[in-house]
Amino acid sequence: MSTFSMKRMCAGLVGLLCAAQIHATVFQVTVDTTGLAGTTATLAFDLVSGDADTGPSSVTFSDFSGVGTDFALGDAFLYPDLATTVSTLASPVILDEADFFNEFLQQLTLGTSFTFRFSATGNAPSDPSGSPDAFSFFLLDATGSSLVTTGDAGDPQAILRYNIGNANGPDVFAIIGPPETSVRVAEVSTAVHEPAAVMLVLAGLLALAVTRTASVRSRVLHARAPSPAAPQA
């Protein structure tokens, strides 16, 4: 392989590595719970399956923090597999689409506010009128009823809903009551490498190294080979 060809291949692999960068959208959710401070509550994160062509979806929750909030109260539950040991809010939690309805529940004592981040993987349905995989977030009391009433006509208990694959981001619903309770969502974009593409680049680099080594070895062996004897008269 010529030096020029090798440079072209390296440039192509570097370009592929750059193309392997994708932007994973991360949303930061901030809930003002001043009107509910001191209340024992349950955070409910629901992932509902949509059309089959959306593929398996998942939602990751991380970076939980709060002002006057105690996240250590109670146990965490993951539905439908309640026997599975799950992480509490002290570490990232991943909610996978294991069934039609999937839920993560975490008890806590509310302070004046709390925040968390979430990101989702999955595809929108191929048919624009189809049913997407959807993530919803609720704030419940000890009986499972919502502590807040929101302006969502379809589900007045949901604080926000995110149709996975929707480029417009989550629908955030205004909290009507109790007073001094509100929610806001900010989008944070972070560049990450697509794992499959990175593996393809590494495989290409390995193949290039093997090809280069074989080419050099072939030239060395050819140079060391004795010249054929000249025919005798």
Does 200 share its domain with 163? no
Does 129 share its domain with 214? no
Q: What was the pLDDT predicted at 232?
A: 57
User: pTM, whole model, 2 decimals?
Assistant: 0.69
Does 209 share its domain with 148? no
Does 138 share its domain with 204? no
Does 36 share its domain with 115? yes
- Position 205 in a domain: yes
Q: What was the pLDDT predicted at 179?
A: 94
Q: From first to last of the 233 residues of the chain, give the pLDDT tens digit.
A: 555 444 444 444 444 344 333 446 899 999 999 999 999 999 999 999 999 988 899 999 999 999 999 887 666 777 777 655 566 676 788 899 989 999 998 889 999 999 999 999 999 999 989 999 999 999 999 899 999 999 888 888 999 999 999 888 999 999 999 999 999 999 986 544 444 444 444 444 445 444 454 554 555 445 555 555 555 55
| Tokens 């909290």, residue located | 175
Nearest 5°: CA angle at 180, between 174 and 181? 45
Computed on alpha carbons and rounded to an integer, the radius of gyration of the chain in Å comes to 27
* Residue 80 preceded by cis peptide, ω within 30: yes
For 105, the domain range is 22-193
- Position 45 in a domain: yes
- Position 233 in a domain: no
Q: What was the pLDDT predicted at 147?
A: 96
Does 71 share its domain with 118? yes
Does 199 share its domain with 159? no
Does 204 share its domain with 116? no
Q: What was the pLDDT predicted at 85?
A: 53
114 in Cβ contact with 33 (< 8 Å): yes
d(CA 222, CA 233): 27
- Position 232 in a domain: no
Does 130 share its domain with 54? yes
Q: Cα-flanking dihedrals φ and ψ of residue 62, to 5°? A: -155, 175
Dihedral (CA of 79, 84, 86, 92) sign: negative
d(CA 129, CA 151): 24
Does 175 share its domain with 209? no
Q: What was the pLDDT predicted at 196?
A: 45
180 in Cβ contact with 34 (< 8 Å): yes
- Position 84 in a domain: yes
Which of 117, 130, 123 shows the shortest CA–CA distance to 167? 123
Q: What was the pLDDT predicted at 32?
A: 97
Tally of structural domains, the chain: 2
